Amino acid sequence: MPFHIALLGNPNCGKTTLFNAVTGASQYVGNWPGVTVEKKEGRFRRGGLEVVMVDLPGIYSLSPYTPEEIVSRQYITDEQPDLIVNIVDATNLERNLYLTTQLAELGRPMIIALNMIDMLERRGVSVDTAALEKELGIPICPISASKSTGVDQLLHRAIHMLHDISHEEDVAGGEGQLKSRAAELHRELHHIHGDLHENRLPYHPIVKTFYDWKISAAVEAVEEVIRDLPGAGSAPRFAAVKLFEGDPILTRGLPLSAEQRRLVEGILASVPETPLVDRQMMIADQRYRFICGVCGRVVKKPRKPVVTLSEKIDRVLTHKALAIPLFFVIMLVIFIITFGPPGSWLTDTVSNFISGSLTDGVRQGLTSVHTAQWAVSLLCDGILGGVGSVLSFLPQIMILFFFLSILEDSGYMSRAAFIMDRPLRKIGLTGRSFVPMLMGFGCTVPAVMATRTLENERDKRLTVLITPFMSCSAKMPVYALFISAFFAKNKPLVIFSIYLLGIFVAILAGFILKRTALKGENATFVMELPPYRLPTLKGLCIHIWERLKDFLSKAGTVLLAASVIIWFLQSFNTSLEMVDDSSRSILAAAGTAIAPVFVPLGFGFWQASVALVSGLAAKETVVSTFGILLGAADETASAAALNGVFTPLSAFSFLVFVLLYTPCFAALSAIRREMRSWKWTLFAIVMQLGVAWVCSFAVYQGGRLLGLG
């Protein structure tokens, strides 16, 4: 049986960074709260022990109100990890220790990783870890997860504790009662010999009392009453405090007898609530008092507080009037680099290579060994034409991702949510919804999952519905293909306008939904602004690699399959004879049946319909499908071929449709998972199709009225 180590701490304190550093995993790290929403496991071996490390969602407390709190609390109470590693952000000691005081009451073996020591040093602040260790009665290791300093010592100590635990389990013979008796003895011994053991803290944290004598006495009395109840047995102190606070889940779960209930009520009556202060507040207040006292003794701040660089940067970036324009300028600059000369040049080079030398070489090679005509066509026209046409946009996707990752890792994304809060509030949304929306620029699937951090069910639904309007990176190759054919002169601007339209439609849809299908009060918006951090190379590589992996696996599966299917359907007619002219193929027949729907939008021909339908598998398929259907050898030829069927106006209208219509199947299944309802999923599909159709219609017909095409 491997040992289980659980990572617990506030949001954004560096849990995932530590997890990645220890297990070698590449989980998503971002400088804002709410990145990890599900628990993730990783394995490693050390000191002869097999260990499973569990990365849990960040929480501020153990009161089970938010989904993250429920996931994390359930994990600790139900799965009983062998060791808790409590990650504490040293730059935010007071708030982080609030959770620590709650974890300590669980009475589980625990160690504190005091993270972000590097940042603390830069601010000229120091923490006396030895003193803090004594005050809390919990072993502490100062670390910097992102710089991997101190991580080794932390693991060393953790493994040491696990060894002790396994030893104790042997002694106790696996019997629960004996085990807890052993723990008690251990605790007593520590009390007696505490001073002799200065450097070797017990792995069972001493259950410190954080409260004044009156509350302490009450909590201890409650603990006596419930000690042997199932459900409290593993963490009687925690259960007693929760019962004292009136925690609903715990109170319901404890099988108190009538006698015990009376006893508990009697004890609680000794600490009466007042109209202004309930018991939960008393507990919270005393925890903070305790923490403030401890921090006052162990933290040394420089005499005059330095204005941090973060604060200086924020004076500009979150400036009342400048913030929003700056946000758009930053986006525009990113697009200019991605789609302007540098990005285009990369894409052209790759594309010329694939459609030129590579395809020609393969074709000649195959023909020289007398391969069947259809097989040559499948490889060159189908697979290289389809998958290859998408692969050539890979460099641009990576550039875009590089910049998005910098925005995420540096902490700017949280600012974006913060500055958009005020305008969004006017229309009934909050800045909190903006985080998933921004993530939607990358990929809709994790963006939809990120809505899990929204507390209010209605806001969550709403955000899930509008997030797909944000242009995901899979749609980018489609834009790139069309702008080089029709808008070569101002590529970045056209793309920027598409992205802006996505944001605008998302907000407008939110506005309408909030007043119709999803009426309700505004939720409160509390989001901390993490300090700016220099993005780590490792973090950037993880983001880009994730994207690349995703893209390549898509290219190898969905795109490949779609390319083969499209090639087949366009090469054969209904009597399964190979046709020279694809307009007599099966595909043409099917496409022609749907095409009339798109006539008012300007692209009522079968190739466009087929491309859009195939785009449901993955948005890149739109490009690969055109690649096959137009059979163009290189970029100029494909531009010419597109020019044969589209006008600039209908091309733009087509891009608008691609931007807004139903997302790919993977995203739909994420939507269905988060909505937990088929009805809402269906609603999403119908709404997205409707919105896409109406907007394209408006663009095309509006453009015609203005005499644009």
Residues that bind Mg ion in the complex, under the rule CB under 5 A: 16, 35-36
Options 63, 72, 86, 144; binder of ligand GDP; rule CB under 6 A? 144
Question: Phi and psi of 476, rounded to 5°?
Answer: -60, -45
Instruction: Count CB atoms within 10 A of the CB of residue 556.
Output: 11
Beta carbon of residue 305, minimum distance to ligand GDP (angstroms, whole number): 19
Nearest one of 499, 616, 637 to 562, comparing CA atoms: 616
Options 106, 116, 159, 687; binder of ligand GDP; rule CB under 6 A? 116
The sheet with strand 110-115 has its strands ordered as 40-46, 49-55, 3-9, 83-89, 110-115, 140-142
Residue 396 found at the interface with ligand GDP (CB under 6 A): no
The helix or strand, by DSSP H or E, that contains position 655, with its residue range, turns out to be helix 648-660
Task: Name the residue nearer to ligand GDP (CB basis): 9 or 627.
Answer: 9
- 102's contact among ligand GDP, Mg ion, none, with CB below 5 to 8 A by partner kind, is none
Beta carbon of residue 18, minimum distance to ligand GDP (angstroms, whole number): 7
Options 3, 6, 17, 235; binder of ligand GDP; rule CB under 6 A? 17
Dihedral angle over CA of 477, 480, 484, 489, nearest 10: 180
The answer to whether residues 58 and 68 touch, using CB atoms and an 8 Å cutoff, is: yes
Options 63, 100, 115, 377; binder of ligand GDP; rule CB under 6 A? 115
For the chain, report the end-to-end CA distance as a whole number of angstroms.
Answer: 70
Subset of residues 42 to 81 that bind ligand GDP, contact rule: CB under 6 A: 58
Task: Name the residue nearer to ligand GDP (CB basis): 93 or 201.
Answer: 93
Subset of residues 461 to 500 that bind ligand GDP, contact rule: CB under 6 A: none
Beta carbon of residue 13, minimum distance to ligand GDP (angstroms, whole number): 5
Written as six digits, the tokens of 91 are 């730059």
Residue 23 found at the interface with ligand GDP (CB under 6 A): no
The answer to whether residues 660 and 505 touch, using CB atoms and an 8 Å cutoff, is: yes
Q: Which stretch binds ligand GDP (CB under 6 A): 25-33, 322-330, 393-401, 444-452?
A: 25-33
Distances (CA, A) of 21 to 18, 26, 147, 207: 5, 9, 9, 31
Q: Which stretch binds ligand GDP (CB under 6 A): 143-151, 541-549, 643-651, 689-697?
A: 143-151
Task: Name the residue nearer to ligand GDP (CB basis): 148 or 497.
Answer: 148
Judged by CB under 6 A, how many residues of this single chain contact ligand GDP? Answer: 26
- Residue 218 CA to residue 234 CA, distance in Å, equals 20
Written as six digits, the tokens of 365 are 């090679």
- 96's contact among ligand GDP, Mg ion, none, with CB below 5 to 8 A by partner kind, is none
- Residue 689 CA to residue 684 CA, distance in Å, equals 9
Options 8, 13, 466, 474; binder of ligand GDP; rule CB under 6 A? 13
Residue 405 found at the interface with ligand GDP (CB under 6 A): no
- 539's contact among Mg ion, ligand GDP, none, with CB below 5 to 8 A by partner kind, is ligand GDP
Beta carbon of residue 409, minimum distance to ligand GDP (angstroms, whole number): 5
Options 5, 8, 22, 29; binder of ligand GDP; rule CB under 6 A? 29
**Cα–chain-centroid distance for residue 234?**
33
Residues 126-138 as b or e (16 or more Cβ within 10 Å = b): ebebeebbbbbbb
- 116's contact among Mg ion, ligand GDP, none, with CB below 5 to 8 A by partner kind, is ligand GDP
The answer to whether residues 446 and 28 touch, using CB atoms and an 8 Å cutoff, is: yes
In sequence order, which residues have a C-beta less than 8 Å from that of residue 324 and are 6 or more positions away? 419, 420, 423
Residue 30 found at the interface with ligand GDP (CB under 6 A): yes
Task: Name the residue nearer to ligand GDP (CB basis): 186 or 533.
Answer: 533
- Helix (H/G/I), strand (E/B), else coil: 419: helix
Beta carbon of residue 37, minimum distance to Mg ion (angstroms, whole number): 9
Residue 31 found at the interface with ligand GDP (CB under 6 A): yes
Residue 313, Cβ density class (10 Å: 0-12 exposed, 13-18 middle, ≥19 buried): middle
Residue 146 found at the interface with ligand GDP (CB under 6 A): yes
How is the chain split among helix, strand and coil, in percent rounded to 5?
Answer: 65, 5, 25
Beta carbon of residue 103, minimum distance to Mg ion (angstroms, whole number): 17
x/- letters, 523..542, toward ligand GDP (CB under 6 A): ----------x--x--x---
Dihedral angle over CA of 87, 91, 94, 95, nearest 10: -70
Residue 409 found at the interface with ligand GDP (CB under 6 A): yes
Residue 100 found at the interface with ligand GDP (CB under 6 A): no
Q: Which stretch binds ligand GDP (CB under 6 A): 8-16, 101-109, 338-346, 482-490?
A: 8-16
Positive or negative, the Cα torsion across 619, 620, 624, 629? positive
Written as six digits, the tokens of 636 are 């100029």
Q: Which stretch binds ligand GDP (CB under 6 A): 142-150, 164-172, 569-577, 678-686?
A: 142-150
The answer to whether residues 431 and 421 touch, using CB atoms and an 8 Å cutoff, is: yes
Task: Name the residue nearer to ligand GDP (CB basis): 58 or 343.
Answer: 58
The answer to whether residues 659 and 471 touch, using CB atoms and an 8 Å cutoff, is: yes
In sequence order, which residues have a C-beta less than 8 Å from that of residue 576 and are 6 or more positions away? none
3-state secondary structure 317-351: HCCCCCHHHHHHHHHHHHHHHHHCHHHHHHHHHHH
Beta carbon of residue 45, minimum distance to ligand GDP (angstroms, whole number): 23
Options 11, 81, 139, 386; binder of ligand GDP; rule CB under 6 A? 11
- 146's contact among Mg ion, ligand GDP, none, with CB below 5 to 8 A by partner kind, is ligand GDP
Task: Name the residue nearer to ligand GDP (CB basis): 11 or 139.
Answer: 11
β-pair partners for 5: 53, 83
Residue 417, Cβ density class (10 Å: 0-12 exposed, 13-18 middle, ≥19 buried): buried
Beta carbon of residue 57, minimum distance to Mg ion (angstroms, whole number): 7
Written as six digits, the tokens of 243 are 């019962």
Beta carbon of residue 150, minimum distance to ligand GDP (angstroms, whole number): 9
The answer to whether residues 598 and 650 touch, using CB atoms and an 8 Å cutoff, is: no
Instruction: Count CB atoms within 10 A of the CB of residue 120.
Output: 20
Options 3, 22, 36, 615; binder of ligand GDP; rule CB under 6 A? 36
Q: Which stretch binds ligand GDP (CB under 6 A): 28-36, 65-73, 264-272, 647-655?
A: 28-36
- Residue 125 CA to residue 144 CA, distance in Å, equals 15
Task: Name the residue nearer to Mg ion (CB basis): 35 or 283.
Answer: 35
Positive or negative, the Cα torsion across 560, 562, 567, 568? positive
Residue 14 found at the interface with ligand GDP (CB under 6 A): yes
Pairing of strands 126-127, 110-115: unpaired
- 338's contact among ligand GDP, Mg ion, none, with CB below 5 to 8 A by partner kind, is none
Task: Name the residue nearer to Mg ion (CB basis): 9 or 139.
Answer: 9
- 538's contact among ligand GDP, Mg ion, none, with CB below 5 to 8 A by partner kind, is none
Task: Name the residue nearer to ligand GDP (CB basis): 119 or 391.
Answer: 119
Task: Name the residue nearer to Mg ion (CB basis): 38 or 175.
Answer: 38
Q: Which residues bind ligand GDP (CB under 6 A)?
A: 9, 11-17, 29-31, 35-36, 58, 115-116, 118-119, 144-147, 409, 533, 536, 539
